[in-house]
Structure 1
Amino acid sequence: MNKQQIPRRGLVYCLLLISLGFAGACSKTSANNSGNTANKKVIRIAIATQDQTINTATGGSVIREEKLLEKYLPKTGKYANVEYNIEWSSYTSGPPITNKMLANQIDIGMMGDFPATINMTTFQKKGNGVKTLYIATLGYSPTGAGNAVLVPKDSPVKTLADLKGKEVSVPFGSAAHGMLLKALKNEGVNAEKDLTLVSQAPEVGGSNLKTNQIAAHANFVPFGELFAYRGFARKIFDGAQTGTPTFHGVLVRSDFAKENPEIVTAYLKALLTANKMFQEQPEAVATKVEKWSSVEREVVYMFLGPSGLQQLNPAIAQVNFDALKNSVVTLKQLGKLDDSVNPEDVTKWADDSYLRQAMQEMGLDYDKVAKAKALVVSGKDAQTNEEIAKPKMAAQIWLEGEDKVMSFASITNMMAMLQKLKAEGKETAGVIFVHDRDRGWKLFAENSFFVQNGKEISAFLTEQEAQTFANKSGAKVANFQGLQQSIAQKTPMLLGAN
């Protein structure tokens, strides 16, 4: 919405009153961006999200486009004669949101753990008594899934060690930056001496991968999967391999929250509703998010759908504090924070009272929600009608043009369906998902590694882990193309129902 302007005649009238000594008759908008016009108070609610960073979808684009905040905004009591001016804005990263929150141009902002750490510590020094509060969690991963290191698709580079002597880019100060530094250290690569690190935003890094102008690019959600899905990059390292948690969260200016607690609660009700929508209709919401973010629905589903790389739980848990602690430690190593910031103080940055109030008003139990298990692939096998009992062994197909994903109890059953689709003349399968046998991470089949033991087929994120598993049984490791060729040579019995 455009900011309210004083009509020209009103301005002339105000100048006349001032000349007569009645300056107080023309009141200005107050510091908290609320004003009174014709006996109606106007309250600005400025919300900043990151549409392409789909972890923020249920706190941003879904609420905005489905008009969920309007549904819950208070309209009685002190809000009985209020006009709401909701200002939405979207950014490609967290730092611009922090700058505008400091300038009191944004009230509620969404960002990842590293930018959030910088945001909250910056406010402690420059907020003039105003703080930012971490009030809810958006998408998160307890292992760090979602951050990734990519190389050009045809690059000979296979491991982080292969990057020695080369130029690697990453958005500095991001969760991906922290992941990359830890991953390089674990691999025995000195980030300062063994390679050249440069800062590049997602769009720049993606462009440079496409044109082979960079050896590798590390990034956060959803670019590690998005660039690979679009066919010009290949993932050589997943943040999940570090085992370090990561998340995106909601921050609010403390002065806005103190003056308008009911509005903050209303926003969190909208967030809870958006989460529920995603969990109940993941394909439908992912399809809508594609329109709002320009991120393909298959990638959105991969992150936030059943057995997705990111979990949706708004509660503020220990795993989130662990992510913030890691952010503090890493940012201090990078010289972005001074020694006055104590990693143990991160718990003081959070305030879940607004979220608890929102849940109470919606009849939800905070502790139950906080302990809820992640949504996983379940239901009936589309090929055999058996129950999907082991999500880590499950597979899925999302055909182009179809509204629903087909799920299978095993990769073997999924391969049987592929053969059936081919026989029916449906050559284009759309996208195929499998899951890492050991950890359950959702994977694109064409970027995964497989080990076949009789009827059982297992998928792995890395070739090394697949080889370790294969060595135990004398089996061979295959990529998806190799697996398809192998299946085609097997007897029909292998493709039959289990």
Structure 2
Amino acid sequence: MRFSTFTKAAASALVAMTVSLGAHAETLRLAIGTQDTTINCATGGLLIRELKLLDKYLPRDGKYKDVQYDIQWKNFTSGAPLTNEMVADKLDIGTMADFPGSANGAAFQKAGKKSLFITVLSGSTQGSGNGVVVPKDSSATSLAELRGKTISVPFASAAHGMLLRALKGQGIDPEKDVNIITQAPEVAGPALQAGKIDAHADFVPFAELFPYRGFARKIYDGVQSSTPTFHGSLVNAEFARKYPEVVVAFLRAAIEADRLIASDPEKYSELIEKVTGIEAPVSYLFHGPLGLQTRDFTWKPEYRQALKTSIETLHLMRRIDVTPDPATFVDDQYIRAAFKQAGLNYDARLKNYDKLPLKANDALTGKPISDTRRLAGLWVAGEPKVRHYAAIGNAFQDLRKLEQAGKTVRAVYVHDLIHGIKLLAPQAWFARDAQGEVSAFLQKDAAVAYASTNKGQLLDFAALKAGTGGR
């Protein structure tokens, strides 16, 4: 009886002590804003969340020993509303492109606060990713043919900056020679289909997604303007000052997400489709080997310059009235710490400009692929992996056999011979030279010029598919 009484008393004391300790435990909110449909942000949001990677790296010792984490995720379709919630202290970390990121820094500064651009996630030092599309039945094949036309673009976006520079590069005055209106991609898609606009400029992935869905054609890629562009993650500087280990943990999770998607881009492109509705072949166009953009966490000089250019451009456009200092806006100490903890060499990666490499054999010949200038790929429905081919003719030969056998091909990929960017083959132009070798091009005039120089023949996707050209 005495033992029972003692046990009850001890238990009560233990419960009281536990409650007391719990009352003093800190609850640390980590609120993260994502842009799920902007698939270049996947390693800084969607994949971390869906694969529950953050829990693996959050600190749980030292000053974090008794911390209870309150992880909050919120998805946005663009950077502006995400920035509004960051400035209002409703979010601690957010992911967006260089232009909206610059606006984020300006908004914090205007509010007497500060945000930090802590990492790049994915981008192109050459400018690929932003693009211009026209309705599928449009006669336009280049920007020069848009003079006097109506072009929509999300204002103050990376695509907006690309469009302005691209038009000026063609000798087109953006204020006098074309009518530029603001439209978000969800509005521009129906407008293209209804013929209410002549062209639309947009960021990842819409310049590829709209053509993939069959109602638009891509006529211009940002790589033609040679203007670097990127997506990355920002943090409230005050949060980073108080909880630097948590910021590094977030970046460790991002690095893990990058490793996973690099190991199996088809699998995780399917996951992105499941969450966002953006078809896996479009995500693979970016995230697969030799993709349209390169996933890269390092602050290459080109990305620092892109940020500086976006700040200057937004100021000239009167979209911001204060200008963050790029030298202090970018803070690479957290990503460097994350690299070190992960056993990676940040400085070596900083110097490396290579895309995710392709290690594959030609699906038709079985021989290793070493020359990727005329690389092609087929993603066959029901197959977990993309088939790769060293020659475009090989891919189309297989395509015909597959379709004759009643199989469905989800996507056909080729690479532009001039810029090396991956393209959706139905949107490309082709030239077959005198030796019968087929090359792919983003623009018709480039294919015409190549065919003329090499005594060859201009071809489109339908001609190749019908077996008219290529070996």
Q: Tell me if structure 2 keeps the 8 A contact 1:139–1:304.
A: no
Query: Which of these residues, 409, 418, 421, is aligned with residue 399 of structure 2?
Result: 418
- Equivalent residues in 2 for 1:429-468 (5 A)? 429-453=409-433, 454-468=435-449
Question: Is the 1:138–1:250 Cα contact (8 Å) retained in structure 2?
Answer: yes
Q: CA deviation at 1:474?
A: 1.6
- Give the Cα separation in 2 of the matches to 1:335 and 1:360: 40
| SS of 1:97 mapped into structure 2 | helix
TM-score, with length taken from structure 2: 0.92
- Mapped to 1, the partners of 2:390 and 2:118 lie a distance apart of 38
How do 1:74-89 residues align onto structure 2 when only pairs under 5 Å count? 74-89=59-74
**How far apart are 1:427 and its partner, in Å?**
4.5
C-alpha distance in 1, partners of 2:442/2:139? Answer: 18
- In the alignment, the residues of structure 2 paired with residue 366 and residue 459 of structure 1 have an alpha-carbon distance, to the nearest angstrom, of 35
Q: Which residue of 1 aligns with 2:174?
A: 191
Q: What CA distance in whole angstroms lies between the structure 2 residues aligned with 1:364 and 1:166?
A: 49
Which residue is 1:12 aligned to? Answer: none
What SS class does the counterpart of residue 282 from structure 2 fall into?
A: helix
* 1:308–1:376 CA contact under 8 A, matched in 2: no
Name 1:267's counterpart in structure 2.
Answer: 250
1:123 corresponds to which residue? 108
**Contact persistence 1:377–1:407 (CA under 8 A):** no
Q: Which has the higher contact order (CA 8 A, sep 6+)?
A: 2
**Where do residues 347-366 of structure 1 align in structure 2 (5 Å cutoff)?**
347-366=327-346
Name the count of aligned residue pairs: 449
Confirm or deny that 1:141 pairs with 2:124: yes
Cα deviation code 1:398-441 (max 9, x no counterpart)? 01122111011111221222233244x13422210000112210
Take 2:319 and 2:400, find their aligned partners in 1: how far apart are those partners? 54
Alignment pair present for 1:171 and 2:154: yes
**Secondary structure of the structure 1 residue equivalent to 2:409:** coil
Within a 5 Å distance, the mapping from 1:58-73 to structure 2 comes to: 58-73=43-58
Match of residue 315 from structure 1: 298
Cα distance, 1:190 vs structure 2: 1.4
Which residue number corresponds to residue 38 of structure 1? 23
Q: How many Å separate the matches in 2 of 1:192 and 1:115?
A: 22
Q: In the alignment, which of 388, 395, 405 is matched to residue 386 of structure 2?
A: 405
Aligned partner (choices 206, 224, 232) of residue 249 of structure 1: 232
| Residue matched to 1:386 | 367
Identity %: 45
Whole-angstrom distance in 2 between the partners of 1:422 and 1:159: 32
Q: Deviation string for 1:298-352 (max 9, x for gaps)?
A: 00000111111110111111111121122123213212244x638xx41321111
Instruction: Give the aligned residue type for 1:281.
Output: D
Q: Which residue of 2 aligns with 1:151?
A: 134
Misfit runs of 4+, over 3 Å:
none
Structure 2 unaligned residues grouped into runs of 5+: 1-20
2:350 is matched by which residue type in structure 1? A
Give me the TM-score of the superposition, normalised by structure 1: 0.87
- SS of residue matched to 1:364: coil
Take 1:42 and 1:363, find their aligned partners in 2: how far apart are those partners?
Answer: 30
1:20-39 superposed matches below 5 A: 38-39=23-24
Match of 1:99 among 84, 98, 110: 84
- Which region of structure 1 is more displaced relative to structure 2, 316-325 or 49-58? 316-325
Q: Which residue matches 2:264? A: 281
| 2:142–2:443 contact (8 Å) kept in structure 1 | no
1:187 to partner: Cα distance:
1.4
CA distance in 2, matches of 1:156, 1:451: 20
Partner in structure 2 of residue 5 of structure 1? none
In structure 2, distance between residues paired with 1:441 and 1:134: 27
Q: For residues 80-114 of structure 1, give each alpha carbon's deviation from its aligned partner in whole angstroms, at most 9, with x where no partner exists.
A: 11111111011111111111111111100001000
Q: CA deviation at 1:188?
A: 1.6
2:447 and 2:88 map into 1 onto residues whose CA distance is 51
2:281–2:410: 8 Å Cα contact kept in structure 1? no
Of residues 171-180 and 37-46 in structure 1, the stretch that sits farther from structure 2 once superposed is 37-46
**SS of alignment partner, residue 109 of structure 1:** strand
Residue of structure 1 equivalent to 2:207: 224
Question: Following the alignment from structure 1 to structure 2, what is the Cα–Cα distance between the partners of residues 162 and 394?
Answer: 30
Match of 1:202 among 185, 195, 200: 185
Aligned match of 1:28? none
Quick check: 1:149–1:236 contact (8 Å CA) kept in 2? yes
Shift of 1:385: 1.2
Distance in 1 between residues matched to 2:242 and 2:308, nearest whole Å: 30
- RMSD of aligned Cα (Å): 1.6
Q: Equivalent residue for 2:32? A: 47
SS of residue matched to 2:73: strand
Structure 1, unaligned runs of 5 or more: 1-35
User: 3-state DSSP class of the match of 1:393?
Assistant: coil
